Structure 1
Amino acid sequence: MSDTIFTKIMNRDIPADIIYEDELSLAFMDINPQAPVHFLVIPKKAIATINDVEEDDRELVGHLYWVAGKLAKEMGFAEDGYRTVMNCGENAGQTVFHIHLHVLAGKPFGWPPYTDRMKQA
């Protein structure tokens, strides 16, 4: 897998608003937020898509969700609720091919999560 923008953020080659880091993961604010609170949690291990997650990666992917919950509590929006999203592939909206968990909060979300673009299709 080639270097992605996330690899460059992990290596501190480009700046990011990093809000959490441990030996397995990194969390930082999204540069194009879709909600009042929008950050990403990524594994430090390069995994392109959910389809590339292997059996040995199960705990790592679970760790991403643990980090999301920890930060939701620390940032004060856990009780109000939040959405987590992990897109898989281009048709699902994945633009960076390094798995990443979107955490969105700070407003009510509807269901299904249609966008205006989808409604027009």
Structure 2
Amino acid sequence: MSTLFTKIINREIPASIVYETDKVIAFNDIDPQAPVHILVVPKKEIPTLNDIEPKDSEYLMEMYSAIKEITRDLKIAEDGYRVITNCNSHGGQEVFHLHFHILGGKPLGALLV
């Protein structure tokens, strides 16, 4: 069964896409938690951080490159931003397709520790 993100990748459901390559797609979160809230998703279905394999390194590097480019384009790189990945239920993961949240556009405050 395809994840919600795979359906976005396949254009089966709409999304506000801000960046795309052959390995990565990035789009605005539908429930933003900051002025900038973008999800960066590999086009390969990797359920969680726990499921990453060495052969997935090209997807991860492409995701980090996307984050660098997106934050520069949106002019939040210099002031700063946060990148979050949730893993499994205790980590708050809701869609089991690896993804990074980019949050920025305002001071974000302290993290829950």
Q: TM class by shorter-chain length?
A: over 0.9
Normalised by the length of structure 2, the TM-score is 0.95
- Equivalenced residue count is 113
Counterpart for residue 30 of structure 1: 29
Residue 53 (structure 1) aligned with residue 52 (structure 2): yes
Counterpart for residue 110 of structure 1: 109
Q: Give the Å deviation of 1:63.
A: 1.6
Q: CA RMSD in A?
A: 1.2
Residues 21-42 of structure 1 show CA distances to partners (whole Å, capped at 9, x for unaligned) of 1100000000000000000000
Q: How does 1:78-117 map to 2 (within 5 A)?
A: 78-111=77-110, 113-114=111-112
Select the structure of larger CA radius of gyration: 1
Normalised by the length of structure 1, the TM-score is 0.89
Unaligned ranges ≥5, structure 1: none
SS in 2 for 1:42: strand
Counterpart for residue 41 of structure 1: 40
Kindly, what percent of the aligned residue pairs are identical? 50
Counterpart for residue 8 of structure 2: 9
Runs of 4+ in structure 1 off by over 2 angstroms are: none
Unaligned ranges ≥5, structure 2: none
SS in 2 for 1:58: helix
Residues 40-81 of structure 1 show CA distances to partners (whole Å, capped at 9, x for unaligned) of 000000000000000111231122111011110011111010
